[in-house]
Amino acid sequence: MARANRDGIWPWLGLAALLVVADQITKVLILDNYQLGESTFITGFFNIVRVHNLGAAFSFLADAGGWQRWFFTAVGAAAAVFIVWMLRSHPGQKLFAFALACILGGAIGNVVDRLLHGYVVDWLDFHWGFLGGLFPGGHFPAFNIADAAITVGAVSLILDEILRLRRPH
């Protein structure tokens, strides 16, 4: 059974690696083609923008003085180790493993940014008028593919737990 678990982890690690590569390619394109703060209008609700996030989600602790770079790098690295361990233990639980692989890919993508640049490169800028009361100008905080993968993974974990609880025991 141990060998089957090790073999079963590879598709999930492959998905995580694919997410890291897609995330890093898009960030290189943004860094090469945009200056900090520069944006391109795409639609009435979406822009491409170059933003540097020194903190975590929603720029949490962005102004903390620099220690947060290493703290969030360590948290991301520890999460990656824990997720790989969890994947080894549960590779056959498809939705659970999918969720973990998405979170793993996203975490590594943002850790790479923190190590290379000292900040995370965000570039997806969605904005809707109805968000005006929550966010300046209705602009949801900019994010990237890694952040989207983490979000998909978190939602998938919640869905997996709901489905698990509804299964007959």
Closest CA to 144 of 107, 115, 169: 107
- Are residues 125 and 47 in contact, defined by beta-carbon separation less than 8 angstroms? yes
Active centre residues (catalytic) = 122, 147
Burial of 151 (0-12, 13-18, 19+ CB in 10 A): middle
Separation between Cα atoms, residue 102 and residue 4, nearest integer Å: 21
* pLDDT in the model for residue 71: 79
* pLDDT in the model for residue 55: 65
pLDDT tens readout for residues 6-53: 568 999 999 999 999 999 999 999 999 999 999 999 999 999 999 998
* pLDDT in the model for residue 1: 42
Closest CA to 64 of 77, 53, 75: 53
pLDDT tens readout for residues 47-81: 999 999 886 655 555 555 656 667 778 888 898 99
pLDDT tens readout for residues 125-164: 999 988 888 888 888 999 999 999 999 999 999 999 999 8
Separation between Cα atoms, residue 8 and residue 20, nearest integer Å: 20
pTM confidence score: 0.86
